[in-house]
Chains A and B, each alone.
Chain A
């Protein structure tokens, strides 16, 4: 099967606008969840940051009719609801136009796993042979719509979030844009596998047995030696149910002793951007030889054992896994392997 590589990356986040800056913030535990929009005068902040991230990712890469675009977001321009056409399809077309992509854009809106779902879509498009490159962009911006919703679900933490901690009280919302260019041309990182599975249990509560997340782990572990895993970048929203569910799934998959980290303490939960943002930061951390710390984590607060990295530690291995879970019962897992080496 065609190997698929990441050949370009771009980030726009409140803690930095280059991979290097963002990695430094994550290492030093400097968090930043919302942009300062003081100077912004355009019509769509969402599209603006998505385009900016994509432009960074495509530097030096030629856009042709065989370049695809996959957009990952949950709510796009929802802050303008009732006042404009907020269809994610319209946003995707605007973004495609801005960066010169003529192929029909595809939006993947699969709740909080959209980032992995979009990357998986991109990987499959390259493997189909119908595209040479696929630009995958994840973006989400803050809005009263999203904030009031998570607030009425009692899911927001009154303090900075604490993934896997015994005193965790919920999530923080964040905003960001992140983009990757996928190609069969050899790059530094290969995406070797990816999967989506449904709990088939409840639309807003994760499975008590971690069913879908476990099935995702079982699927990707078919092609992975456990000893090669440097770390697992979990979803780790810091809601009581999510983190507990992930601990069960990791335990069932026999991965309780593998180093784990969660990055929501730095960026907050960036929803449709989370998968791509956290994957790019994880690649950069691995390249620097480290497993990033889990900001906000102090004392274990889940039932099953998890090897949470409270502090930075050396990364040993050849690859990392990225996990996400979301509303609608969806779960996703993806394998990022350095250099594509076996």
Chain B
């Protein structure tokens, strides 16, 4: 799980162009959206949906489903571990 979390953080930093951030900067349990956490927005949600399919073979049909899964890195990693097809 620890490896998946680090890998996921690196992929997120890369695909969302989070310049200058390292995996250590992202708290596993902090919200990804809203002002407290990474402050991601609606386009980022869509880009994370692409990341899920591209890297883990998981299809999320709607942004609202995405927002459930993308609550935090920990939630996202657990969802990937449970549902990944690649």
Contact = CB atoms under 8 A, between A and B. Distances in A.
The answer to whether A and B touch in the complex, with CB atoms under 8 Å apart, is: yes
Interface of A: 152-154, 202-205
Nearest to B42: A205
Interface of B: 41-43, 46, 49-50, 62-63
Given A152-B46, A154-B46, A202 B41 contact: yes
B62 A204 contact: no
A204 B43 contact: yes
A204 B49 CA distance: 17
A202 B42 CA distance: 10
Contact of B63 (A154, A202, A203): A154
A153 B50 CA distance: 10
Given A154-B46, A154-B62, 4 more contacts: A152-B46, A154-B63, A203-B43, A204-B43
Contacts of A204: 42-43
Contact of A152 (B41, B42, B50, B62): B50
Contacts of A202: 41-42
Nearest to A241: B42
7 contacts: A154-B46, A154-B62, A202-B41, A202-B42, A203-B43, A204-B42, A204-B43
B56 to A, nearest CB: 17
B79 to A, nearest CB: 19
A329 to B, nearest CB: 14
Nearest to B66: A154
The 10 closest A-B pairs by CB, nearest first: A205-B42, A154-B63, A204-B43, A153-B46, A154-B62, A152-B46, A154-B46, A152-B50, A204-B42, A202-B41
